[in-house]
Structure 1
C-alpha cells in the first residue's frame, strides 16, 4: 500500500481525480464508526467492523483512510460538528466561553467514547478549527496576549474533559456519588477528626454546609473560577509573577564596612 503523500488526512483530497466513482465518502465512514462506538464503545471500532457495517470488504476502506487513527480523526471531527454556536455573541467573553463549554460537555455526554479517543491526543480537524475560531472571537477584546488566550482555551478543554469524565463515571455507576467516592470521603473525615491534620479538618468541617447543586451548576462554577484566574490582564499576571520572584529572592548582603 502506498504511503499517503500528506501526513494529515485533512490535507489530502477525499478522492482522486481519476478512477471509478468511490462507493463511500468520509462522512459515511465516520458515521458508521460513530454508530459502533455509541453502541459498543471505542474498542468495537475497527477497520473491519466499519467495513462490515458499510457492507464492504475491509481492504476497501484503505482507499479513504490509511489507519484506524485516521478513522478516529474523522469520527472526532464529525461529532465536534454537533457543537452549536447559536448562543454566542453575548458581548461578554466569560458567558460565551461557558456557552461553548456547555456545548462541548453535551457532545462528550452524548458520545462518551470521545473521552477515550481524545485522552492522549486531540486531533485538529475542520470542526475543531471552527471551535477554536469562535473561542478566540469571544476573547478578541480581552487585554491579554494571544499566547495567554490559546493557553486558556487549551486548559479550558482539559478541564471540560476531566469534569465530564467524572460525570460519565457517576452515570455509569447509576448513582449520584459512586461507592468509591463515598468511601474516600468517609476515610478523609475520619483522618481529619483524629486531630493530626488541622488544615484538612478545617477544610472538611470548618465551613457551613452548602446546598448540593446540580452537575450543570457545578460545571459552570468550576469553569468560571478557572477562566477568571487564567485570563487576568497580562499586566496583572506579570505583576503577580514579579511579586513572587521578588519575595523568593534573598536579600542582598550588605557591603563591607570601612574599618574604623
Structure 2
C-alpha cells in the first residue's frame, strides 16, 4: 500500500504521447461529478469518462480512488477566503467554521470525507496555519490548539451532515414519533424538556460551535 501522500509523489512519466491532462483537471472533473451525482459515483472509470479518456490514463496522475478523494478534499479547501488573523480568537475561529459550512453545503459529499478520511494537503496545511495564527496569543499549549482544529473541523462536518439530512420530511417523521413518545408517558425527563416547545433542529450552528470551542479553550 502506498504510504507517500499523493502531493509528494513524483508524477509518472507516460509512454508514447505526452500527457494531455493535469492532476488539477482530473481533480476538478471528480469534484464536478461528485457535486452532480454524489460521492459513490466517483470512480476512476467515471472520472475518465468525464474527461473523455480511458481509465488507464488517469494513473499518470493518481494511483487510486483514495488519492482522488484526498485531492478532492484538499482542492475544496482552496475556497476559503479568510481575513488576516487579528483580534479575539473566537470570532476568528467562527469565521473559519462559517466558511467551512458554506463549502460543505456547496459540496454535499465533503462532510462524509472530512469525517471518514484524515487528509492534510497543501490547502489544508494553509488552513491549519491560519487557525494557529488566530490562536497565537492564546495561552493553550500547541496540543490543545491542534485539538481545537480537529474538533472544529469534525463538528462542522457533523452538523452540516445533519443539516443536509434533516429535510422537512425527516423532521416531520421525527416530530410525529416524539409526539407518540410524549403521549406514552414513559419518558418524564424528555417530556419536561419538550413540553410547550415544538421540536426543532439543533441550536444554531455558530452558537453550538462557539460553546464547544469555549469549553475546550476557555472563555
TM-score (norm 2): 0.88
Counterpart selection for 1:77 from 74, 82, 88: 74
Pair 1:180 & 2:176 matched? no
| C-alpha deviation, 1:209, in angstroms | 5.7
Q: Contact 2:181 / 2:187 at 8 angstroms: preserved in 1? A: no
CA distance in 2, matches of 1:135, 1:56: 40
* Compared CA separation, residues 19 and 97, structure 1 to 2 (3 A): farther
Unpaired segments of 5 or more residues in structure 1?
234-260
Q: Which of the pair has the greater relative contact order for Cα pairs under 8 Å at 6+ separation?
A: 2
Structure-2 residue corresponding to 1:35: 32
Once the two structures are superposed, the pairs formed by residues 173-212 of structure 1 within 5 Å of their partners are: 173=167, 175=168, 178-191=171-184, 194=185, 197-205=187-195
Structure-2 residue corresponding to 1:128: 124
Structure-1 residue corresponding to 2:204: 218
| C-alpha deviation, 1:204, in angstroms | 2.3
CA distance in 1, matches of 2:15, 2:59: 17
CA distance in 2, matches of 1:85, 1:100: 7
Largest Rg, 1 or 2: 1
Counterpart selection for 2:154 from 153, 158, 170: 158
Q: Deviations over 1:53-84 (max 9, x none)?
A: 11111101111100000011111111111111
Structure-2 residue corresponding to 1:252: none
Counterpart selection for 2:104 from 99, 108, 119: 108
| C-alpha deviation, 1:180, in angstroms | 2.7
Counterpart selection for 1:63 from 60, 64, 71: 60
Q: Contact 2:48 / 2:54 at 8 angstroms: preserved in 1? A: yes
Q: Contact 2:35 / 2:108 at 8 angstroms: preserved in 1? A: yes
Q: Deviations over 1:3-57 (max 9, x none)?
A: 86x6211111346599864211111000000111111111111101111111111
* Compared CA separation, residues 103 and 200, structure 1 to 2 (3 A): same
Q: CA RMSD in A?
A: 2.7
- Number of matched pairs: 218
CA distance in 1, matches of 2:191, 2:8: 56
CA distance in 2, matches of 1:146, 1:18: 47
CA distance in 2, matches of 1:177, 1:223: 23
Structure-2 residue corresponding to 1:248: none
CA distance in 1, matches of 2:152, 2:120: 16
Q: Deviations over 1:141-171 (max 9, x none)?
A: 111111111112211111101110111113x
* Compared CA separation, residues 41 and 18, structure 1 to 2 (3 A): closer
CA distance in 2, matches of 1:60, 1:18: 10
Structure-1 residue corresponding to 2:87: 91
Counterpart selection for 1:11 from 5, 8, 12: 8
